Amino acid sequence: LLICTVLYIAVVVVLTGISDERLALKAIQQGAQDYLAKDTLTADSLVRSIRYAIQRQQLLATTIER
């Protein structure tokens, strides 16, 4: 719920040591842009996730402003 409240201000990417599909889905449903597990994380995947999250956030903000 709190993630949704700040959705228009911050980009949220969850980085966790827990690789759990149900938890990942719940985080996304609550407003997180992405869910990354540390055991599969690479520098490239982290950078890509952040870039995509920022782009999705900007697109969402533009859509809402119209």
Note whether 39 and 16 are within 8 A (CB). Answer: no
Percentage of residues in the chain having pLDDT higher than 70: 82
Type and span of the H or E element at 37:
strand 34-37
The yes-or-no verdict on residue 1 having pLDDT over 50 is no
Of the listed ranges 7-11, 31-35, 38-42, the one predicted with least confidence: 7-11
pTM beyond 0.85: the answer is: no
**pLDDT > 90: what percent of the chain?**
58
pLDDT category of residue 45 using cuts at 50, 70 and 90: very high
> C-alpha distances in angstroms, 15 versus 34, 45, 63?
9, 11, 27
Distance of alpha carbon 14 from alpha carbon 9, whole angstroms: 16
Which pLDDT belongs to residue 46?
95
